[in-house]
Structure 1
Amino acid sequence: MVQQMIVGLVVIGCGVYAAWTLMPAGARRVLATHALKLSLPEFARKPLQRAMKPAGACGGCDSCGDEKKTTDAGVKPIRIHRMVKH
């Protein structure tokens, strides 16, 4: 009985994490705004505060949380050489 409850809690936790991760950034911001109105402990407030920040500089899906800027300075051309058969 206890083992089934623990497994159920783990499955629910994984489902919530997957839904939060795959959710669009706009929906996460809305949910984070509403959740921050509740009295939550500090460890639960930090990810919600991070989710309220605007989308990343890359203009992507904002799921990585990375603030990298995309520039052409790091772009290197790819050279393709034909293989010579002997």
Structure 2
Amino acid sequence: MSAQMLVVLVVVAACAVYAGWSLAPAVARQAVAKAALRLPLPGFMARYFGQVALRARAGCGCDGCDAPAPVAREQSIRIHRRSGP
């Protein structure tokens, strides 16, 4: 196996893991995160999986999209007239 094939294999595997993680339901991500916390992980990965494991389970898993939109303030409208036709 050439070095190019090895690099392509690593990149494709990383992309597949990322796509699977980002498209997985929140419940599945929490279960994987809790299982991963039992392994000896580097500090940044343990912190990330700890945050994922502690997130509250939402009914839709939308991460805040069901929150009401902030109320817009009133803003004045300025009309600039151009001279000419």
TM range (shorter): 0.5 to 0.7
Determine which structure has greater relative contact order: mean sequence separation of CA pairs < 8 Å that are 6+ residues apart, divided by chain length. Answer: 2
Aligned residues: 71
Which blocks of at least 5 consecutive residues in structure 1 are unaligned?
76-86
The aligned counterpart of 1:54 is 56
CA distance 1:73–1:21, shift in 2 (3 Å) = closer
User: What CA deviation, in whole Å up to 9, does each residue of 1:37-72 have, x standing for no partner?
Assistant: 00000121122112111146xx6424xx5x577236
User: TM-score, with normalisation over the residues of structure 1?
Assistant: 0.66
Report the Cα distance in structure 1 between the residues aligned to 2:70 and 2:6, rounded to whole angstroms: 53
User: TM-score, with normalisation over the residues of structure 2?
Assistant: 0.67
Please tell me the root mean square deviation across aligned C-alpha atoms, in Å.
Answer: 2.7
Q: Which moved more, 1:42-51 or 1:28-37?
A: 42-51
